Chains A and B, each alone.
Chain A
Amino acid sequence: MVTTEAPARPGTRPPRASVSAPGARAPRTPRPGGVAGAVLVNAALVVASVYFLLPIAWVLIAATKSPGDLYSTFGLWFSDSPQAWENLVALFTQDGGAFSIWILNSILYSGVGALVATVISAGAGYAFAKYDFPAKEALFWTILGGVLVPATVIALPLYFLLNAVGLTGSYWSVLLPCMVSPFGVYLARIHANASVPDEVIEAARIDGAGDLRIFGSIATRMMTPAIVTIFLFQFVTIWNNYLLPLVMLNDPKRFPITLGLTLWNSQTQRDPAFTTLVVTGSAVSVILLVVLMVSLQRFWKADLTAGATKG
């Protein structure tokens, strides 16, 4: 975490961190049973991480095995003749390099979709937080109701709608629907309420700044943690999406990774070599996302507006 704010804002600081924070009270004396409790807590944490890491460890190990070894060696240890490189070469050369195209497509869908979704939901959320207009609450609750609508209810009719205007099968058929994030509007509204004080807006107005400029250069800066959160969650949501591309796309050149891997998976019964491709492809895509999530982890909690509200 990169918070650097003074300890004057207890609400934003995780309670466990405050124990050792400067200015905190002296560490409390351990109670009887504290040691056993500590062992239990940490044992539970370790057991939980074994559970969450199990499939990831399995696929990373399995990706180094030949098709034969996949079934004949113990799943959580390497075989005597690892062939990770051969598997990777096969993965990236199969079907004319289809896998690389799927990765790029996934990045395109998730990156562009999440970017646009973030911009328009941040604007809308800010508008809901800071302006009064007719039917505001009714409109907001309608949008919020959108969070409750199962995605499948949208995807099937959307196919028939986009089919009518000839968009199905195109990049747009997946990109456009991904640019709507009702949950993003909700997050942006509560964060604009909490982190953009009316006084700052009034002061900027008195200084002659226009409303759009106030939003673009002042409010968005104060809302940065919320904006990053909206982007990340929308990115992952689109990356993980399966039904929408499944319904919309039929040309494998436009598939995202999820759809591509299931395409190969459906061919494993015809040709067992595809099993290795699916396993290696899964491993590569898991690594991609794990790298993304771990490297961006600090942004989820980074309190970048700390201090901005105090001036």
Chain B
Amino acid sequence: MTASTLTPVRRSRSRPPAALWVLLVPFLVMFALFFVAPIVFAVVDSLFAQKSSGLGLTAPTREFVFMDNYVAALSSPAFLASLGRLVAFSAIEVPLMVVTALALALLLGAAAARFPRLFRVTYFMPYGVPGVIAALLWGFLYIPATSPVLQLLGAVGIHANPLSSDAVLFAIANIALWGFAGYNMLILIAALDAIPSDLYEAARLDGAGEWRVIWHIKLPLIRPSIVLITLFTIIGTLQLFVEPLVLRPLTTAISSDYTPNLAAYNQAFTQGNPNLAAAMAVIVALLAFAFSALFLRIVNRKGNRAW
């Protein structure tokens, strides 16, 4: 470092110093290699196809087919069904997650709450359980032979089957809720903690009750965090992969292309069609962007403050 002591104050505003590049370049290089490059590769790859000669005697050649893979993916009834399933799953999971995380954060912030720190760490604990293991555990809890919950329900005459084709989407939503509600709750608690306590004092001096404080102070002030966790949940739900993969041996309600990601994984590694898989992955990414953009448009629309 050549620290010029002559113009120390102006340096940050004029020519960027060498230190900037030391700080910035490692991340940018890694980001380019392991984030941007795969995306570019996927987009390019999705425009090509492997064409082998009829007998398979010569090596397959790579041909530019433009949108053919997308047409093939979007005209496959199974893939369309998996996209539909994904949208349905999002419609279940996103509101469930946001409302649960919000309820937990507000409950823990209530003046009457006892042992808030103990409860907070309890709710957050499942976040440390890998999704695979969470799915394995809930799998046991979804089977009457091993599930104490189903056994207790059965004892009072309720025979539920969470893995039936009607219920399995909710069973999967429950696993994701269990794993991530505490994490989202923590983000909301951090936002709630940042609200200056004078605001509560003032509201209470004005005679506002707990509900009015929630409605008129807490919710409006943590709005950005609510938007953030909603966005993360939308992205997360569109990645649905692990839970159906783990639950699949337990039920016939989950097919090998139950979600677009499962379908893409199968195309890439068991069907040997990485180009189609790339197209499917790009479709999921576009869907994620479309949903995120749509959601942000709705919440940012002028005058949309009616909580």
Interface residues of A (CB under 8 A from B): 1, 10-16, 18-19, 25, 28, 31, 34, 37-38, 41-42, 44-45, 48-49, 51-56, 58-59, 62, 70-71, 74-76, 119-121, 123-124, 126-128, 130-133, 139, 143, 146-161, 176-177, 179-180, 182, 185, 201-202, 205-206, 208-213, 215, 236, 239-243, 247, 257-258, 261-262, 265-266, 269, 278-279, 282, 285-286, 289-290, 292-294, 297, 300
What are 25 inter-chain pairs, A to B, with CB distance below 8 A? A11-B194, A11-B196, A15-B195, A16-B109, A41-B110, A45-B119, A52-B122, A54-B149, A59-B140, A75-B146, A75-B147, A120-B27, A130-B12, A131-B12, A131-B16, A150-B239, A155-B38, A157-B45, A179-B34, A180-B31, A180-B35, A211-B19, A262-B246, A285-B129, A297-B124
* Complex contact B27–A285 (CB within 8 A): no
Whose C-beta in chain A lies nearest to the C-beta of B209? Answer: A31
Neighbouring A residues of B116 by C-beta, 8 Å: 16
* Complex contact B111–A161 (CB within 8 A): no
Whose C-beta in chain B lies nearest to the C-beta of A203? Answer: B8
> Separation in Å of the A13 CB from the closest CB of chain B?
7
Neighbouring B residues of A42 by C-beta, 8 Å: 112-114
Neighbouring A residues of B239 by C-beta, 8 Å: 150-152
* Complex contact B133–A123 (CB within 8 A): no
Neighbouring B residues of A161 by C-beta, 8 Å: 37-38, 41
Distance in angstroms between the alpha carbons of A257 and B285 in the assembled complex: 28
* Complex contact A154–B198 (CB within 8 A): no
* Complex contact A160–B41 (CB within 8 A): yes
- Consensus secondary structure, chain A interface: helix
- With known contacts A41-B110, A45-B108, A148-B288, A265–B246 Cβ distance under 8 A: yes
> Separation in Å of the A15 CB from the closest CB of chain B?
5
Verify if B227 is at the interface (C-beta below 8 Å from A). no
Distance in angstroms between the alpha carbons of A32 and B149 in the assembled complex: 38
> Interface size (B, Cβ < 8 Å)?
108
Verify if B59 is at the interface (C-beta below 8 Å from A). no
Neighbouring B residues of A52 by C-beta, 8 Å: 122-123, 125-126, 178, 181-182
* Complex contact B31–A182 (CB within 8 A): yes
* Complex contact B113–A45 (CB within 8 A): yes
> Separation in Å of the B118 CB from the closest CB of chain A?
8
Distance in angstroms between the alpha carbons of A157 and B44 in the assembled complex: 10
* Complex contact B292–A206 (CB within 8 A): no
Whose C-beta in chain A lies nearest to the C-beta of B186? Answer: A300
- With known contacts A52-B122, A208-B3, A157–B131 Cβ distance under 8 A: no
* Complex contact B197–A294 (CB within 8 A): no
* Complex contact A153–B130 (CB within 8 A): no
Whose C-beta in chain B lies nearest to the C-beta of A57? Answer: B148
Neighbouring B residues of A152 by C-beta, 8 Å: 239, 241, 261, 264-265, 281, 284
